[in-house]
Amino acid sequence: MIDREHAPTIPVPSSSVAVRGASAAPVTTRDAIAREEAWGAHNYHPLDLVIAEARGAWVTDVEGRRYLDCLSAYSAVNQGHCHPRLLQTLVDQASRVTLTSRAFRNDQLGGFCEELAQLCGMEMVLPMNTGAEAVETAIKAARRWGYRTRQIPDGEAQIIAFEHNFHGRTTTIVGFSSEPAYREQFGPFAPGFVLLPFGDIEAVRRAMTANTCAVLIEPIQCEAGVLLPPAGFLRALSALCAERGVLLMADEIQTGLGRTGALFACDHDDVVPDLYILGKALSGGFYPVSAVVARREVLGVFDPGSHGSTFGGNPLGCAVAREALRVLRDERLIERSATEGAWLLEQLRTLRHPAIAAVRGRGLMCAIELTVAARPFCEALQKRGVLCKETHGTVIRLSPPLVVERRDLEWAVAQLRAVFHDAVGT
Residues 169/41, Cβ–Cβ less than 8 Å: no
- Residues 102, 63, single domain; the answer is no
- Residues 100, 153, single domain; the answer is yes
**What residues make up the domain containing 136?**
84-330
- Residues 284, 418, single domain; the answer is no
pLDDT at 240 over 90: yes
- Residues 309, 358, single domain; the answer is no
Q: Which residues pair with 251 in a beta bridge?
A: 277
pLDDT value at residue 14: 36
The last residue of a domain, from among 330, 359, 375 = 330
> What average pLDDT does range 403-411 have in this prediction?
98
pLDDT at 406 over 90: yes
pLDDT at 99 over 80: yes
Q: pLDDT band for position 26 (50/70/90)? A: confident
The domain that holds 244 is classified in CATH as 3.40.640.10
Lowest model confidence (mean pLDDT) among 6-10, 313-317, 364-368: 6-10
Q: Give the residue numbers annotated as catalytic, written as ranges.
A: 166, 251, 280
How many distinct structural domains can be found in the chain? 2
Residue range 175-222, pLDDT digits in tens: 999 999 999 999 999 999 999 999 999 999 999 999 999 999 999 999
Residue range 247-281, pLDDT digits in tens: 999 999 999 999 999 999 999 999 999 999 999 99
> What average pLDDT does range 153-175 have in this prediction?
97
The last residue of a domain, from among 284, 309, 330 = 330
CA distance linking residue 144 with residue 224, whole number of Å: 30
The last residue of a domain, from among 330, 360, 381 = 330
**Mean pLDDT over all residues of the chain?**
94
Lowest model confidence (mean pLDDT) among 212-216, 229-233, 275-279, 422-426: 422-426
- Residues 321, 412, single domain; the answer is no
- Residues 14, 41, single domain; the answer is yes
pLDDT value at residue 425: 55
The domain that holds 371 is classified in CATH as 3.90.1150.10
Q: pLDDT band for position 19 (50/70/90)? A: very low
- Residues 42, 172, single domain; the answer is no
pLDDT value at residue 20: 44
CA distance linking residue 187 with residue 109, whole number of Å: 37
- Residues 71, 179, single domain; the answer is no
Three-point CA angle 375, 285, 345, nearest 5°: 50
> What average pLDDT does range 335-341 have in this prediction?
98
CA distance linking residue 290 with residue 280, whole number of Å: 7
pLDDT at 402 over 70: yes
Whole-angstrom CA distances from 64 to 37, 61, 260, 409 are 22, 5, 32, 21
- Residues 53, 117, single domain; the answer is no
pTM, full prediction: 0.94
pLDDT value at residue 1: 45
Of the chain, the percentage scoring pLDDT greater than 70 comes to 94
- Residues 27, 56, single domain; the answer is yes
Torsion, CA 197, CA 203, CA 208, CA 212, rounded to 10: 10
- Residues 70, 149, single domain; the answer is no
pLDDT value at residue 25: 72
Residues 411/7, Cβ–Cβ less than 8 Å: yes
Length of the chain: 426
Query: Which residues make Cβ contacts (< 8 Å) with residue 420, sequence separation at least 6?
Result: 351, 352, 353, 356, 377
- Residues 185, 104, single domain; the answer is yes
Q: Which residues pair with 217 in a beta bridge?
A: 250
Query: CA torsion sign, 234 to 292 to 283 to 33?
Result: negative
C-alpha 319: how far from chain center? 20
